[in-house]
Amino acid sequence: MTGPTVAAPRETPPANPLAEFLLRLGDDRLVLGHRLSEWCGHAPILEEDIALANIALDLVGQASAFLAAAGEAEGQGRTDDTLAYFRDEREFRNALLVERPNGDFAVTILRQFLFDAWSVLLLDALKTCGYAPLAAIAAKALKEATYHLRHSSEWVLRLGDGTDESHARAQRALDDLWRFTGELFQTDAVDEAVAGMGIRVDYAALRSRWNDMVSDVVKRATLALPADQPAATGGRRGRHSEYLGHMLAEMQSVARAHPGATW
Amino acid sequence: MEQKPQATPEDPAKLAQFQARIDAGESIEPKDWMPERYRKQLVRMMSQHAHSEIVGMLPEGNWITRAPSLRRKMSLLAKVQDEAGHGLYIYCGTETLGVDRAELVDQLLDGRAKYSSIFNYPTLSWADIGVIGWLVDGAAIVNQTVLAKASYGPYARAMIRICKEENFHKRQGFEIVATLAAGTPAQQAMVQDAVNRWWWPSLMMFGPSDTDSPNSAELLRWKVKHKTNDELRQRFVNLTVPQAIAVNLTLPDPDLTYNAETKNWEFGEIDWAEFHEVIRGNGPCNRERLAARRAAHENGRWVREAAEAHAAKQRRRSTEAA
């Protein structure tokens, strides 16, 4: 006699790896862009109000392009807006790093710097990939990301090699954020599947170059590179921190109160 | 009009020469001689304008995180970024008159300087973002188009550049309004409610009535202003009423009627008691706006100090290397 089936696979692999890969790229930028936009009107100097809004704008623009491509790849008629506004937190695929709360300006800058260095390298690899729609978006986004990295690197130098207080804050931010960087280089079945479609990224090489870039700036900023520690992961499978749900509740509130409306 | 006695009285010959240049339509440039009072009036107007751009980021920033589509989120981010840019640009213009930005910011934060009272009203729904673009930027454009002919060159040039962007903001705002007005019943109700709340404060943006405007005569004589507050307010109403009609929205004024003879849309009495109360600091959000600016300034102090310390270290290093 057979009872109800209780044994199930540990993980269900994503049905559409290409769409999944594009969602990850889009969600990273949507969530980080949103976080930066929270600074609007509250930055330490007017020039940074302008710069942070500008970077937020670029990131949301990139997110829109990646999410639209994800919707196309998925082929179920979902647009960038449906994907941004009508998915729950478990369906978001961003890395945990980008959903970290803004904290003080040092946390925002260090989070940005760690992301920008990675993003520049990843986009540079993707701009020559074999999937043309992705290559085109990556090429355009790379130009913006290069500027973002310059901005965040300069601020890491100023904060690290500024006053005792700014140095301490920058070091604390770097130490706190470090465990979220490992996830950026993790690969899974999705990466393997898209490699077969011409989207090949050598994450080991990417990580080594990222380490060099980050170490160089951190050293010049007179900061100390944190020791290796176990990576906090889960974002790529929709297992987020508790922070993301609150962010999405705010971001999606108007759109969800009026489903089907045009804005 | 009466002026306060000054420590050093202006040379009458120079004053006459200055007025002659103004009357001839010449532009006054930073290094030119100008009456102290002219300088003061311009510092007052320009810094108020810059402060308004900065404080104005707050009510709109309130909806960036809730904008209902990615396109709207991006255009609102771009708009608020433009406003910060305008603020920066006008602060720089004010520096040509010998006052630096840090001093002006201090005046804003300790409550000595004013900014446009419109930003002391709360943004309560997404529709407010459309209505602010349409009415508030619309009113600002009516003011600034005239200021673009102001006698002080740096201010006039700043206004020309800023007006171009404001026109773009106004079009975006009106597009949001038109979309909502043609939307679901809930969206229509939302936008009508926003218009009802912002209409009168928008009319107040032109300042006190001509019969009660202490600075007007002097500013007109010096061609800093070319039109009176009431003339500009009427121009704004005449421009805006047909736009409201076009998108099927009503305006909360039972006295609003078209006078075929004067071709003016005549409107009811502004609540001047409310106008003065908001200026005195008793509007719905005066305290919150200043508190937010102060908090940003205080929380950012260590960042500004770090940037200065780093720049000083860099200078020292390059001197040592040389």
Q: Any chain B CB within 8 A of the CB of A163?
A: yes
Which pLDDT tens digit goes with each residue over A9-53? 888 888 999 999 999 999 999 999 999 999 999 999 999 999 999
Mutate to test the interface with B, among A27, A35, A42 (most CBs of B within 10 A): A42
The C-alpha atoms of residue A53 and residue A37 are separated, in whole angstroms, by: 6
List, as one string, the DSSP characters of B33-83: ---HHHHHHHHHHHHHHHHHHHHTHHHHHHHHTT-SSHHHHHHHHHHHHHH
The C-alpha atoms of residue B32 and residue B45 are separated, in whole angstroms, by: 19
Exposure letters B74-90 (e unless 16+ CB within 10 A, then b): bbbbbbbbbbbbbbbbb
Helices and strands (H, E) in chain B, number of each type: 14, 2
Which pLDDT tens digit goes with each residue over A90-134? 999 999 999 999 999 999 999 999 999 999 999 999 999 999 999
Whether the CB-CB separation of A156 and A110 falls below 8 Å is answered with: yes
Give the per-residue pLDDT at B1: 43
Whether the CB-CB separation of A31 and A94 falls below 8 Å is answered with: yes
- Nearest CB among B68, B78, B313 relative to A161 is that of B313
The C-alpha atoms of residue A245 and residue A181 are separated, in whole angstroms, by: 21
Whether the CB-CB separation of A225 and A170 falls below 8 Å is answered with: no
Instruction: Please check the confidence at residue B97 and state whether its pLDDT lies above 90.
Output: yes
Band (pLDDT 50/70/90 cuts) for residue B2 is very low
**Amino acid (1-letter code) at residue A44:** P
Q: Which residues of B touch A34 (CB under 8 A)?
A: 65
The C-alpha atoms of residue B205 and residue B260 are separated, in whole angstroms, by: 26
Closest by CA to B96, choosing from B43, B157, B162, B172, is B43
Whether the CB-CB separation of A102 and A108 falls below 8 Å is answered with: yes
Whether the CB-CB separation of A84 and A149 falls below 8 Å is answered with: no
Query: A57-66, A220-229, B162-171, B210-219: lowest mean pLDDT where?
Result: B210-219
Chain B residues 27-66 with a CB less than 8 Å from chain A: 54, 57-58, 61, 64-66
Look up residue B276 and give its two tokens: 């003065």
Mean pLDDT of A174-186: 98
**Amino acid (1-letter code) at residue B108:** L
Band (pLDDT 50/70/90 cuts) for residue A183 is very high
Look up residue A223 and give its two tokens: 């900061």
State the pairing for strand pair B257-259/B264-266: antiparallel
Closest by CA to A107, choosing from A35, A28, A53, is A35
Residue with tokens 């007006």: B163
- Nearest CB among B66, B88, B183 relative to A262 is that of B183
Look up residue A175 and give its two tokens: 């130490």
**Amino acid (1-letter code) at residue B8:** T
Give the per-residue pLDDT at A79: 98
Q: Any chain A CB within 8 A of the CB of B307?
A: yes
Please indicate, yes or no, whether the overall pTM of this predicted structure exceeds 0.80.
yes
Residue with tokens 């500008």: A54
Q: CB distance A46–B300 less than 8 Å? A: no
Closest by CA to A34, choosing from B211, B61, B64, is B64
Alpha-carbon separation of residue A103 from A110, A139, B263, B299 (angstroms): 11, 31, 56, 11
The C-alpha atoms of residue B113 and residue B110 are separated, in whole angstroms, by: 8
| Structural domains of chain A ordered from first start | 17-225+233-257 (1.20.1260.10)
CA-nearest residue to A55 within chain B is: B77
Give the per-residue pLDDT at B8: 63
Q: CB distance A57–B184 less than 8 Å? A: no
Closest by CA to B94, choosing from B149, B154, B134, is B154
- Nearest CB among B72, B88, B187 relative to A46 is that of B88
Band (pLDDT 50/70/90 cuts) for residue B5 is very low
- Is A36 strand, coil or helix? helix
| Conformation bin of residue A11: beta by default, left when phi > 0, alpha when psi is -120 to 50 | beta
Whether the CB-CB separation of B266 and B259 falls below 8 Å is answered with: yes
Mean pLDDT of B115-141: 97
Q: Which residues of A touch B91 (CB under 8 A)?
A: 46
Look up residue A142 and give its two tokens: 């790379």
Which pLDDT tens digit goes with each residue over B18-38? 999 999 999 999 999 999 999
Query: How many interface pairs between A and B have CB atoms less than 8 angstroms apart?
Result: 140
The C-alpha atoms of residue B205 and residue B46 are separated, in whole angstroms, by: 15
